[in-house]
Amino acid sequence: MTPSPHPAGVPSPEPLVHPLDRACAEAAVEAVFAGLSPRSRYLRFHSPVPRLPDSVRARLVDIDGARHAAVVAEVRDLGPIGLAQVFGPGHGTADVAVAVVDAWQRRGIGKRLLTALAAVAEEIGYTELRGSILPENVAMQRLARSVLPWARPWFDGETVQFVAPIGPAAWTVTHEDLLADLVR
């Protein structure tokens, strides 16, 4: 089922954001991918992706709650409308990815997903989140800055990279932080 907005004049139910487990992961990944336009797929995967390759699908659904965790936004009667995932070794730095189906973008779903994911990542032992955003994906850059305002972004020649401490590390000021503030 492809998530879509409710008909005009009918209020949409409030999405529920919660941790995703392995048993429900494949259905959530498929539903969110199906709800992405070709442009949104390009922005999320950094290349044209008309269908989800089996190797990518396998990685996205391999949720163990220790190294790879995810949160999903769901709407009753519509199913999954957004997904945020964190991947890493189970401690230290982890990669983060967020996708919201087109019909639900710019409604605060991404912010709720990234906020919930940061909390889950901290619970399982991560101290830093990192991401890679295409320069034209201004909405995702804004989202990262709104949820992780202390993140350190930089352009690597192809993408905007960001690193953001979470948990107690987010409140520790380092020499790099001071220098980055001076350079900005």
pLDDT at position 170 is 67
Helix/strand/coil percentages in the chain, nearest 5? 40, 25, 35
| Range with the poorest average pLDDT among 3-7, 87-91, 104-108, 112-116 | 3-7
Rg (CA), the chain: 16
Q: Can you point out the beta strands (E) in the chain?
A: 16-20, 68-75, 79-87, 92-100, 126-133, 152-155, 160-165
- Please give the CATH architecture assigned to the domain spanning 16-183: 3-Layer(aba) Sandwich (3.40)
- Statement: residue 177 has pLDDT above 90: no
pLDDT tens digit string along 119-144? Answer: 999 999 999 999 999 999 999 999 99
Q: Taking each helix axis from N to C terminus, what angle separates 109-123 and 138-147, rounded to the nearest 10 degrees?
A: 50
Q: What is the mean pLDDT of residues 96-111?
A: 97
Contact 158, 122 (CB under 8 A): no
Give the domain ranges of the chain: 16-183
What are the helix and strand counts (H, E) for the chain? 6, 7
> What is the structure's pLDDT at 106?
95
Tell me if 121 sits within 8 A of 166, measured CB to CB: yes
SS3 139: helix
pLDDT-based confidence at residue 24 (cuts at 50, 70, 90): very high
d(CA 26, CA 121): 20
pLDDT for position 161: 97
In the prediction, which pLDDT does 13 show? 81
Residues 6 or more apart whose Cβ sits within 8 Å of residue 101 = 2, 3, 31, 32, 34, 35, 36, 40, 81, 82
Report which residue type is found at 136: E
Q: What's the pLDDT score for residue 91?
A: 87
Render pLDDT for 30-89 as a digit per residue (tens, 0 to 9): 999 999 999 999 999 999 999 999 999 999 999 999 999 999 999 999 999 999 999 999
